[in-house]
Amino acid sequence: MTHPAPNDPLVILMPSGRRGRVAPGTSLLEAARQMGVEIESICGGRLTCGKCKIQIEEGVFQKHGITSGKAHVSPPGAEERELLENMRATNYRLSCSCYVEGDILAFVPEEARAHKQVIRKAAKERLIDVNPAVRQVYVKVEEAKLGEHRGDWGRLQSALAEQWQLEHLTIDLQALRNLQAALRKGKWKVTVTVWQDREVIDVRPGYQEGAYGLAVDIGSTTVAAYLCDLRTGELLATESLMNPQVKYGEDLMSRISYAMMNDDGLDKMHKAIIDSLNTLAARAAKEGGIHSRHIHELVVVGNTTMTHLFLGISPVEIGGAPFALATRDSVDVKARELGLKLHPGANVHVLPAEAGHVGADNVGVLIAEEPYHQEEVVLAVDVGTNAEIILGNREWMFSASSPTGPAFEGAQITYGMRAAPGAIERVRIDPVSKEPRFRVIGEERWSDEWPTGAHITVEDQPKHLASGICGSGIIEVVAEMLTAGVILPDGRFNPTLEHERLVWKERKGMYVLATGDQTTTGEPLVVTQMDVRNIQLAKAALYAGAKLLMIRAGIDKVDRVVLAGAFGSYIDPKHAMILGLIPDCELERVVAVGNAAGDGARIALLNKAKRQEAVDISRWTRYIETAVDPLFQDEFVAAMHIPHASDAFPHLEGLLPDAENVPMVKPRERRTRATA
Amino acid sequence: MTHPAPNDPLVILMPSGRRGRVAPGTSLLEAARQMGVEIESICGGRLTCGKCKIQIEEGVFQKHGITSGKAHVSPPGAEERELLENMRATNYRLSCSCYVEGDILAFVPEEARAHKQVIRKAAKERLIDVNPAVRQVYVKVEEAKLGEHRGDWGRLQSALAEQWQLEHLTIDLQALRNLQAALRKGKWKVTVTVWQDREVIDVRPGYQEGAYGLAVDIGSTTVAAYLCDLRTGELLATESLMNPQVKYGEDLMSRISYAMMNDDGLDKMHKAIIDSLNTLAARAAKEGGIHSRHIHELVVVGNTTMTHLFLGISPVEIGGAPFALATRDSVDVKARELGLKLHPGANVHVLPAEAGHVGADNVGVLIAEEPYHQEEVVLAVDVGTNAEIILGNREWMFSASSPTGPAFEGAQITYGMRAAPGAIERVRIDPVSKEPRFRVIGEERWSDEWPTGAHITVEDQPKHLASGICGSGIIEVVAEMLTAGVILPDGRFNPTLEHERLVWKERKGMYVLATGDQTTTGEPLVVTQMDVRNIQLAKAALYAGAKLLMIRAGIDKVDRVVLAGAFGSYIDPKHAMILGLIPDCELERVVAVGNAAGDGARIALLNKAKRQEAVDISRWTRYIETAVDPLFQDEFVAAMHIPHASDAFPHLEGLLPDAENVPMVKPRERRTRATA
């Protein structure tokens, strides 16, 4: 390359505004490269992929120092015109075959930029740089000829090194098996799929783009899959299904027990999740208009028990102290080794874990929310059977796992059920009348708008009557019972309240949330004292975990609360705070971000640098073992009251009943007293 | 480590005679390490493996500057005494727990030296350094404890780095699946099997040594397997069987055709060889007293078609010009990927090839014979359906493949058969009487010692009558017919010879080698004109190949001829030279080395450095394509006569009949005339 002369043509590329002089006859693709503007190209300038589009601006551009943009590039040939046939604007060219003849002002459209970004809805709206582990390149390979003995793979290696600077590559046996036929069918031009710039995983004849990836979040209950185009980053399909392991145990401990008690327990649960992923992949592929054989990579997150079972590793050690993982590292393994029916050369990447009870799903939340890049202190909680809690900012980061139990998911609740049609998900109780109204999933009207009486038309009937109460419903009903004075801060039903909704049986109260004519069974739907106690235990565990981290970090308030997970998406921040799930914070700074773990998987799928970040951050984050921390027990006890007896909630002022009769006790003071 | 002081104890290690001063209290294992003497240890000084034996010489060693050897080491403890229980001599100690207290003279016995050598019978007797890709180390791993989150694999990584300086290791998924159970069963002490110092492929509880490897030579006809102890290098078992692909085609071209003509042809032949290797591995393991699940590595050689079929790669491209290989490189792939039932983490290493028709088997011959390390010019030929020919020395190396056809293997010969009981393998013809005598495989007596007449006892009868003639027999009979004047140098039966053994049918002669009472069928066994022609074609191809390389190298004589392969082991160098298989050479410098390709596989199995040498040498060797070289055709035509019409054979003087009537013509002269 010779240095451009001062009177060489000036090229200005918008929207970056980068400018530079290049020798006449330079292609705009090359000119852009010299100026540090990366334009996408799969075929490397062979007029095949049509990706390197650019718009030549015409007219007089004196303000840029250009007097005319017209005719300052070489005219397009027939091949180029064909590739540009469907473009609406006529000033489009392919930069690889558009040669500079004079000063040019050109615009690189979004879709032609090499490093694409996709927007992700998050606590803070965030861009994902599309820089996947799988990429495709189109190469022309030297033909085999007598007396030249490198072998086809040797020739392909040379071509990849010369045309794409890809060196020291290996080739997957499956790709090697197809190599010779592909080279000949493609007349020595092939599209090569490369993983991590180190292994060739596919060779297709001619120009055949298309690489797809699947990000999967294996939850104990639900498995969610996101199909992405690995070139554009586009989300093509989202699918989910129940984790089939549920039949071997509802919660993690019962699945671990199942693996311990049954010789084939691990094998059955492993096969069950693999089968499900094959189903999910096939469904997502169909929805996205591709075939699951075109899925070139799978990125997996899940709690540690889920990732162990997915990899066919016994979770038994996670079931008891000291909760040792087989591996905390990220894992790369061929999909076919696990029986996954994706592309034959596809890789599976499992994100790293942090500790025995803080798995790849939490690391997914971390890399999706990036609290470690922020100034403000973020508390992120992902509530499931266990709650994973992260607290920190760019300076420090703590994590913990807290045994909330399944109450928040509707288990251990008398009328608890999953979030399905018929489940009560919203509850309001009038503070004066103590009368409730609720909304069920699948019916838009609140229960007090449901028609009553003998002459209701079929269309007027609620689509679903109440058949149970799901996680968000149970939180709201307990919070509303508190604010309405139906229950007392210690969780007991108010013995001084006389109301037809408050029924006593054997000295235990229960609240009638739905009457018989509002339910599918015809029986009243009640919230019992035991239900309230279970919610108290769960919320105390969650709060105590968060509090423990705050104490360890030496802070007494958080700047932002992130509620991750499906559960977080449905609960109302106000009710969560009233109930005391989370510490005090400005209400508008409590945000639900949906399945952040799944987002983390998608981010790691689309951006390989994020995988290293995940490893680094998983080791940097300090994990606090709640199970053995005496402070946790103190905080847990103190957090049983509603709201907490131990901490002030200035942001709830006016929302809570008078709590004068509940003395404020700092657990650390209490502890000091106890040990004094 | 502090530097030893001048008055520190002096340690002298025999037989190397290395000496040095070490701080008192240093173990002899460590002292040896400091002095550059490597003593074997698997357990790393944990008094478990008992490998690091050393003999403490007692008495006065004034000539070494030591006045007393007695009591200059710490006394042995109970554990050490137990491990040394079975030693005959009482001066044995374990160097890891024998601490220096004063001047010491010690002897490191052969079996305790870290780099063992095994002796291999070869053209030149040669030592193989035992330095395998698979090694085992015993480590003590930190116990899992609460608040320590590395995971068991992380802890094992730390232990391997600290105790064995093994870093950046990965772990095979199968090993990861067993890791936690092994650590706990072994009470956090495990024996780790590492491949290429980069991947953990097995973790066994406690101290459990034993790593084995299988070297395999896949011939078109025969598959041979050698089971080795990877620690000692010892050959534990040798097994072989017919290549089951024979049923899809006798020779390479017919198997390639089978793959081309049948959609499932490749798959069938691939499965057939994999099944055979599983059988061979099981047999060899049984013979060696182990289980095939303990075979930790497989090294494979074979011609290019065989290695392609073994890897499940279509050999179709090898079947026609330009004879492109899928890959020329060595290949590493998990044995389980190919359906091999060895250790779950076992690797398969396929040696590299040189060119389309010179495969890993030839590279095996190269690394076994190492002509590239020698001064003298070596010609090595490996005769099968194709003959692979190597010519060279430390300065240069050529190779070629020559299409000899299967005549040397007994095919295309009227009474040809494989080397099996009943096959004629040796032939002598009396130059005067023209009467033959022969020996068949399975019967020690030559045919002229077989009893005749009516009253032979059963014990006296030959164990086998003649049922055919094998490769070495056909070479000997043609050579002997020539020296006896039964055939003429141009290969025709001598029309002037009248003898009852020479029978004419339709103007074509044939020679009765065995009479009806000497054969299993009761019919005479004859050698026909066509048989002689086929042998002429085969030997001309082989000779022309060797000659072509000599011309390219610019030499007219070779210093040594190496006959590789089973075939080479059975033919008599004199007959081979009379027939003109090989160029002139001192007869005693023509040596048969047996299955050198298989030896090469065994060497690569036992010594990982040899694998890189194989790659380097396979690329350095210049391959000459016989098929397109006009000189080859000239030499081929000129080599049809017996002996050659073109070259002098001074070393055969007196062994050949008068060849005056065959004019000597240099093929290059002829060629010059032809093109003039």
Phi, psi (degrees; rounded to nearest 5) at A129: -75, 130
How confident is the model at residue B64, as a pLDDT? 64
Q: How many helices (H) and strands (E) does chain A have?
A: 16, 29
Q: What is the CA radius of gyration of chain B?
A: 30
Report pLDDT digits (tens) over B381-413: 988 777 899 999 999 999 998 888 778 877 788
- A434: Cβ–Cβ under 8 A, 6 or more apart, which residues? A484, A485, A486, A497, A499, A501, A502
Phi-psi region of A344 (alpha: psi -120 to 50; beta: other; left: phi over 0): alpha
Domain boundary among B205, B233, B255: B205
Contacts of A180 in chain B (CB under 8 A): 313-314, 316-317, 324, 326
Of A176, A337, A625, the CB nearest to B326: A176
Q: Is residue A3 over pLDDT 80?
A: no
How confident is the model at residue A664, as a pLDDT? 41
Residue with tokens 């406690």: B206
Amino acid in the structure at residue B397? M
Q: Are B326 and A628 within 8 A, CB to CB?
A: no
Which letter, b or e, does each residue of A136-170 get, where b requires 16 or more Cβ atoms within 10 Å of its Cβ?
bbbbbbeebeeebbbbbbbbbbebbeebbebeebb
CB atoms within 10 A of CB A488: 20
Q: Which residues of A have a CB under 8 Å from any CB of B? A: 144-154, 171, 173, 176-177, 179-181, 311-314, 316-317, 321-329, 331, 333, 337, 353-356, 623, 625, 627-628
Tokens of residue B111, six digits: 């079996």
Query: Pick from A253, A324, A241: which is nearest to A282 by CA?
Result: A241
- Give the helix/strand (H/E) hosting A13: strand A10-14
Asked if A197 and A273 sit in the same domain, the reply is no
**Confidence class of residue B628 from pLDDT cuts 50, 70 and 90?**
confident
Report pLDDT digits (tens) over B19-32: 888 999 999 988 88
Looking at the DSSP assignment, which residues form a beta bridge with residue B350?
Answer: B300, B331
Q: Is residue B660 over pLDDT 70?
A: no
Rounded to a whole number of angstroms, the distance from the CA of B205 to the nearest CA of chain A is 15
Asked if A224 and A339 sit in the same domain, the reply is yes
In B, minimum Cα distance to A182 occurs at B326
Phi, psi (degrees; rounded to nearest 5) at B607: -140, 110
How confident is the model at residue A68, as a pLDDT? 55
How confident is the model at residue A118, as a pLDDT? 66
**Confidence class of residue B174 from pLDDT cuts 50, 70 and 90?**
very high
**Confidence class of residue A676 from pLDDT cuts 50, 70 and 90?**
very low
Asked if B53 and B169 sit in the same domain, the reply is no
Asked if B178 and B152 sit in the same domain, the reply is yes
Contacts of A337 in chain B (CB under 8 A): 173
3-class DSSP state for residue B3?
A: coil
- How far lies B96's CA from each of B33, B83, B91, B459, in Å? 11, 12, 15, 62
Tell me which long-range contacts B22-25 makes (C-beta under 8 A, separation of at least 24): B22/B100, B23/B100, B24/B99, B24/B100, B24/B101, B24/B102, B25/B99, B25/B100, B25/B101
Query: Pick from A89, A79, A37: which is nearest to A207 by CA?
Result: A79
Rounded to a whole number of angstroms, the distance from the CA of A147 to the nearest CA of chain B is 6
- How far lies A4's CA from each of A24, A31, A32, A70, A105, in Å? 9, 11, 14, 22, 18
Pairing of strands B10-14, A622-624: unpaired
How confident is the model at residue B46, as a pLDDT? 81
Asked if A276 and A327 sit in the same domain, the reply is yes
Give the lowest-confidence range in A384-388, A487-491, A665-669: A665-669
**Residue B387 · residue B401 · CB < 8 Å:** yes
Asked if B74 and B188 sit in the same domain, the reply is no
For residue B77, what is the domain's CATH number?
Answer: 3.10.20.30
User: By CB neighbour count within 10 A (0-12 exposed, 13-18 middle, 19+ buried), where does A580 fall?
Assistant: buried
Cα separation, A557 vs A61, whole angstroms: 56
Give the lowest-confidence range in A290-299, A449-458, B201-210, B657-666: B657-666
- How far lies B429's CA from each of A398, A458, B436, B448, B523, in Å? 94, 112, 4, 11, 20
**Confidence class of residue A675 from pLDDT cuts 50, 70 and 90?**
very low
Q: Is residue B553 over pLDDT 50?
A: yes
How confident is the model at residue A280, as a pLDDT? 96
How confident is the model at residue A405, as a pLDDT? 79
How confident is the model at residue B663, as a pLDDT? 39
Q: Is residue A243 over pLDDT 50?
A: yes
**Residue A660 · residue A640 · CB < 8 Å:** no
**Residue B227 · residue B212 · CB < 8 Å:** yes
Cα separation, B422 vs B466, whole angstroms: 5
Contacts of B354 in chain A (CB under 8 A): 149
Asked if A224 and A312 sit in the same domain, the reply is yes
**Confidence class of residue B494 from pLDDT cuts 50, 70 and 90?**
very high
Q: Is residue B360 over pLDDT 90?
A: yes
- How far lies B547's CA from each of A122, A188, B471, in Å? 76, 36, 22
- Residue B307 resides in a domain: yes
- Residue B2 resides in a domain: no
Of A146, A154, A321, the CB nearest to B328: A154
CA B537 to chain centre: 28
Q: Are A151 and B176 within 8 A, CB to CB?
A: no
Among positive and negative, which fits the CA dihedral B409, B414, B418, B421? negative
In B, minimum Cα distance to A178 occurs at B313
Measured torsion, CA atoms of residues A574, A577, A583, A584, in degrees rounded to the nearest 10: 50
Ranked by mean pLDDT, the top range of A212-226, B330-344, B461-475, B485-499 is: B330-344
Mutate to test the interface with B, among A145, A148, A149 (most CBs of B within 10 A): A149
Which residues in B480-548 belong to E strands, given as ranges? Answer: 502-505, 508-514, 525-528
- Residue B318 resides in a domain: yes
Q: Is residue A132 over pLDDT 80?
A: yes
- How far lies B537's CA from each of B404, B490, B524, in Å? 7, 12, 25
**What percent of chain B stands above pLDDT 90?**
56
For residue B146, what is the domain's CATH number?
Answer: 3.10.20.880
Which letter, b or e, does each residue of A408-446 get, where b requires 16 or more Cβ atoms within 10 Å of its Cβ?
bbbbbbbbbbebeebbbbbbbbeeeebebbbbbbebeee
Cα separation, A635 vs A546, whole angstroms: 10
Rounded to a whole number of angstroms, the distance from the CA of B148 to the nearest CA of chain A is 8
For residue A327, what is the domain's CATH number?
Answer: 3.30.420.480
CB atoms within 10 A of CB A189: 19
Tokens of residue B629, six digits: 């070289």
Mean pLDDT in chain B? 88
Amino acid in the structure at residue A295? I
In B, minimum Cα distance to A308 occurs at B177
**Confidence class of residue B5 from pLDDT cuts 50, 70 and 90?**
confident
Rounded to a whole number of angstroms, the distance from the CA of B154 to the nearest CA of chain A is 7
**Residue A558 · residue A585 · CB < 8 Å:** yes
- Residue B63 resides in a domain: yes
Report pLDDT digits (tens) over A77-105: 888 888 888 776 778 889 888 898 888 88
Contacts of A173 in chain B (CB under 8 A): 311-312, 331, 333, 337
Q: Are B623 and A149 within 8 A, CB to CB?
A: yes
Q: Are A150 and B328 within 8 A, CB to CB?
A: yes
Give the lowest-confidence range in A412-421, B255-264, B641-650: B641-650
**Confidence class of residue A245 from pLDDT cuts 50, 70 and 90?**
very high
Report pLDDT digits (tens) over A13-23: 888 888 888 99
Asked if A227 and A324 sit in the same domain, the reply is yes
Query: What value does the mean pLDDT take over residues B466-493?
Result: 92
Mean pLDDT in chain A? 88
- Residue A500 resides in a domain: no
3-class DSSP state for residue A500?
A: coil
How confident is the model at residue A347, as a pLDDT? 98
Which residues in B125-280 belong to E strands, given as ranges? Answer: 126-129, 134-140, 170-171, 189-195, 199-205, 212-218, 222-229, 235-242
Q: Where are the alpha helices (DSSP H) in B129-245?
A: 151-164, 173-185
For residue A643, whether the previous peptide bond is cis, meaning omega lies within 30 degrees of 0, is: yes
Cα separation, A300 vs A346, whole angstroms: 13
Q: Are B322 and A148 within 8 A, CB to CB?
A: yes
Asked if A353 and A252 sit in the same domain, the reply is yes
Domain boundary among B205, B226, B252: B205
Cα separation, A544 vs A261, whole angstroms: 33
Contacts of B329 in chain A (CB under 8 A): 151, 153-154
Phi, psi (degrees; rounded to nearest 5) at A89: -75, 145
Q: Is residue B455 over pLDDT 70?
A: yes
Looking at the DSSP assignment, which residues form a beta bridge with residue A215?
Answer: A226, A299
How confident is the model at residue A125, as a pLDDT? 60
Contacts of A628 in chain B (CB under 8 A): 146-147
Pairing of strands A117-120, A134-140: unpaired
How confident is the model at residue B667, as a pLDDT? 44
How confident is the model at residue A504, as a pLDDT? 93
How confident is the model at residue B669, as a pLDDT? 44
Q: Is residue B1 over pLDDT 60?
A: no
Q: Which residues of B have a CB under 8 Å from any CB of A? A: 144-154, 171, 173, 176-177, 179-181, 311-314, 316-317, 321-329, 331, 333, 337, 353-356, 623, 625, 627-628
Q: Is residue A199 over pLDDT 70?
A: yes
Cα separation, A431 vs A656, whole angstroms: 11
Q: Are A327 and B145 within 8 A, CB to CB?
A: no
- Residue A47 resides in a domain: yes
How confident is the model at residue B333, as a pLDDT? 97
- Give the helix/strand (H/E) hosting B82: helix B78-83
How confident is the model at residue A668, as a pLDDT? 45
Cα separation, A231 vs B65, whole angstroms: 76
Cα separation, A114 vs A232, whole angstroms: 10
Report pLDDT digits (tens) over B116-148: 766 655 555 568 889 999 999 999 999 999 888
Asked if A339 and A221 sit in the same domain, the reply is yes
Q: How many independent structural domains does chain B possess?
A: 3
Asked if B266 and B317 sit in the same domain, the reply is yes
- Residue A303 resides in a domain: yes
How confident is the model at residue B326, as a pLDDT? 97
**Confidence class of residue B581 from pLDDT cuts 50, 70 and 90?**
confident
Residue with tokens 């919230």: A527
Query: What value does the mean pLDDT take over residues B451-455?
Result: 76
Tokens of residue A585, six digits: 């914070």
- A189: Cβ–Cβ under 8 A, 6 or more apart, which residues? A46, A48, A138, A139, A140, A141, A205, A206, A207
How confident is the model at residue A231, as a pLDDT? 93
Query: What value does the mean pLDDT take over residues B449-468?
Result: 83
**Residue B546 · residue B635 · CB < 8 Å:** no
Give the lowest-confidence range in A108-112, A363-367, B244-248, B463-467: A108-112
What residue numbers bound the domain in which A159 lies?
134-205
Query: What value does the mean pLDDT take over residues B438-450?
Result: 91
CB atoms within 10 A of CB B261: 8
In B, minimum Cα distance to A355 occurs at B149
**Confidence class of residue A341 from pLDDT cuts 50, 70 and 90?**
very high
Report pLDDT digits (tens) over A525-535: 999 999 999 99
Report pLDDT digits (tens) over A642-663: 866 567 778 777 676 654 444 4
Q: Is residue B273 over pLDDT 70?
A: yes
**Confidence class of residue B664 from pLDDT cuts 50, 70 and 90?**
very low
Domain boundary among B180, B205, B230: B205
Cα separation, B522 vs B465, whole angstroms: 10
Tokens of residue B597, six digits: 């390709």
Tokens of residue A60, six digits: 């007089």
Q: Are A149 and B325 within 8 A, CB to CB?
A: yes
Q: Are A328 and B154 within 8 A, CB to CB?
A: yes
Query: Pick from B530, B563, B539: which is nearest to B640 by CA?
Result: B539
Asked if A63 and A142 sit in the same domain, the reply is no
- Residue A644 resides in a domain: no
Of A146, A173, A328, the CB nearest to B151: A328
Q: Are B151 and A327 within 8 A, CB to CB?
A: yes
How confident is the model at residue B671, as a pLDDT? 41
- B297: Cβ–Cβ under 8 A, 6 or more apart, which residues? B132, B133, B134, B195, B213, B214, B230, B346, B347, B348, B349, B605
Q: Are A180 and B321 within 8 A, CB to CB?
A: no
In B, minimum Cα distance to A625 occurs at B147
Q: Is residue A117 over pLDDT 80?
A: no
Contacts of A146 in chain B (CB under 8 A): 321-323, 625, 627-628
